[in-house]
Amino acid sequence: MRGMAVNPQRLTVSKTYKLFIGGAFPRSESGRYLIARTPNGDHVANYCNASRKDLRDAVRLARAAQPGWQNASAFLRGQILYRAAEMLENRRGSFLPELTLLGLDAKSAGRQLDLAIDRLVYYAGWTDKLAAVFGSVNPVSSPHWNVTSPDPCGVVAVICPDSPSLLGLVTILAAALVPGNAVVAIASEKEALSAISLAEVLAVSDLPAGVVNILTGIRSELAPALASHHEIQAILDAGGDPAVSTVLAEGASTNLKRVTTWHGNAAQWESEDLENPYRILDTVEFKTAWHPSAL
């Protein structure tokens, strides 16, 4: 109204960092939270400490969403990943402050964000090439066509690296999504904020709900449930914690779940070695079909 003064006592509306499960942003059912701090110990934000119940919910919704993602055309999957890159580019202004708050200088934050965008574009380009490059028509001594094709494992659990938090999450997510897997990701414990901001990007990138689920929490609490869950077909472990890796290997041995370890320091995550189609094969199963042919 005319003449009304702006309230000088107005408080800033701070961002609430929640989980990303089934395309929605719920709080943890446990009510627990963790605190993100600057390197000097200053409070930045609270974020959810996911429970095993949250994990089970995420796996259930990933399992429901995975067939639709697998059956979508390779071209469409690539377009959606490219759309995520576009949205990430458009939100540079919100990601850079988050990365610098937790200890990165402006140059390092900008480089990590650039590489994350470029990596999404790179893997988007592989969706409609994967079958042509790694599939085959096999010679057989019978009147059949024998065809081998790369198929997704199903639901893939991901343990993300602490550094680089955003680039590591984007790289491992993109590689798992290319062949048609659904993903349940456990974000960095030390730099979790950008993971939920990335979830906001994915939520508006035409990615079907449930295909990607991102949890923030304590890896050592969630690892046993990841390893023992029978609806998870593969685990990509990039966390770099030997104790967690041991728990995953021991738990997965009870249900023959595939566990692949992605090693790397910050410089290695930035290298071109991570732009490698063979990384996609960590969550691929090769299936062979026989078809009768005319004599």
What length is written for the chain? 295
Q: CA 289 from chain center: how many Å? A: 30
Q: Which of 133-147, 189-203, 262-276 has the highest mean pLDDT?
A: 189-203
- 231, 44 Cβ separation under 8 angstroms: no
For the entire predicted model, the pTM comes to: 0.91
Q: What is the pLDDT of residue 1?
A: 44
Q: Which residue has the higher pLDDT, 11 or 262?
A: 262
Give the whole-angstrom CA distance, residue 124 versus residue 178: 7
Pick the CATH number of 42-292 from 3.30.930.10, 3.40.605.10, 3.90.600.10, 1.10.287.1060: 3.40.605.10
Average pLDDT over residues 99-124: 92
Q: 155-159 and 212-215: which strand pairing?
A: unpaired
pLDDT (tens digit, 9 = 90+) per residue, 235-288? 999 998 899 999 999 988 888 889 999 887 878 898 888 999 999 999 999 988
Instruction: Take residue 198 and report the two structure tokens written for it.
Output: 């990335």
Q: Any idea where the domains of the chain sit in the sequence?
A: 42-292
Distance of alpha carbon 9 from alpha carbon 1, whole angstroms:
18
